[in-house]
Amino acid sequence: MCESAESYEASSSPAAKAEPLRMVLLGRTGTGRSSSGNTILGRSAFWVESSPCSVTTRCQRQSGTVAGRSISIVDTPGFFHTEMSPQEVLSEVGQCVRLYPPGPHVFLVTLQTARFTQQERETLKWIRALFGPEVSRFTMVLFTCGDRLMDKPIEDFLQESSELFEFVSSCDGRYHVFENTSHDKKTQEQVQKLLEKVDMIVADNGGSCYNNVMFKRAEGALMEAQERILGSEDKTEQVLDSEKRSRTEDEEEDRRRRAERLFWCELLSAVGKGAVEGAGIVGKDKEGKGKAVRKVKVVEKAAALVASPLSISSAAKVVGGAVREGSKVLYKHKNTWFH
């Protein structure tokens, strides 16, 4: 953890000895948080490097005296960090409140004056989720790379994204623009205007700051929401498992019933066939299969067989034929129904 730096501008004025104005820089990686901190302090307080990888991995605090005022700035790891997971980033960003009591007077959320992408959207959602709804009272959007706007008014830029406009509006419409290519005098003017806007935020909040109590409250709400989501997911999973088991059992029962019906149909058909063959109504060919006859003739002869009395020998043939053909079906299905 980087220790607080000494004031780079010696001053013994009462303003310099007063409570420092505490600011925290938040934003997606690569939006100029560290550069903005250096611009405000007027020196290279935070490490800035052109790199495809995120540079800041820990909360860092630097202090200085700007225009006779004591300023303390905390730089945080960027959201969508290239080397840290979202959980690690959220955990480390939360340290800006825990480790530097009593807490910041203002959160400066850095956004570039470029396309408002999905990552920017997610960043704003994470900030709200991490610090809770009360963070809006202490938040101001700091647009970097303002020179990219060319002659376009920042108000027109805000109107191009309803989500960005909504976020700025939730912060009581507070925003400021830094032009990175400005000369020293212009830079000083930008910083002075920023401090004036921060003073207005402090005044609106009665001199209070975002404190650890607010953060714990937001943290508790976030954990509760996560537990509800996880609990809902578990219940949903249980319901889906139950429905899946129920569907499987129903499908298995349907298959069993269909197989049972087919078995009995096949058995009764075989028994009937054997009985008719035994009575001589349908003969057998050389392969032992029933000869093809017209159904009408078979039905007529079967009806005659039922209506007329059978001799003992004829009855024996009927029963024998029925048993023979029925036994074939029973043997065929013995592993299915008799295990």
**The overall pTM is greater than 0.75:** no
Residue 290: the pLDDT is: 46
Residue 231: the pLDDT is: 61
What the chain holds in terms of domains, given with CATH numbers, is 14-210 (3.40.50.300), 231-337 (no CATH)
Q: Three-state DSSP class for 237?
A: helix
Orientation angle between helical segments 33-41 and 184-204, nearest 10 degrees = 100
Residue 332: the pLDDT is: 66
For residues 88 and 59, the answer to whether their CB atoms sit within 8 Å is no
Indicate the residue type of 90.
L
What phi-psi label fits residue 87: left (phi over 0), alpha (psi between -120 and 50 degrees) or beta? alpha
Q: Which of 197, 112, 183 is nearest to 146 (CA)?
A: 112
Q: What is the pLDDT along the chain (339 residues), one digit of tens a residue?
A: 343 443 334 333 444 457 899 999 999 988 889 999 999 999 988 887 655 556 677 889 999 999 889 999 999 988 887 788 888 888 889 889 988 889 999 999 999 988 888 988 898 989 998 999 999 999 999 999 888 888 889 999 999 888 899 999 999 999 999 986 666 788 889 999 999 999 999 999 999 999 999 999 988 887 887 676 666 555 556 666 666 777 777 777 777 777 777 766 766 666 666 665 666 655 554 444 444 444 445 445 555 555 555 555 665 665 666 667 667 766 666 666 555
For residues 139 and 106, the answer to whether their CB atoms sit within 8 Å is yes
Torsion angle of the four alpha carbons 109, 113, 119, 125, in this order, in degrees rounded to the nearest 10? 40
Residue 192: the pLDDT is: 94
* Cβ-Cβ contacts under 8 Å for 257 (sequence gap 6 or more): none
Strand order in the sheet with 21-27: 60-66, 69-75, 21-27, 106-112, 139-144, 175-177
Cα dist. 24→27, 81, 115, 161, 307 in Å? 10, 17, 24, 25, 104
How many C-beta atoms surround the C-beta of residue 119 within 10 A? Answer: 14
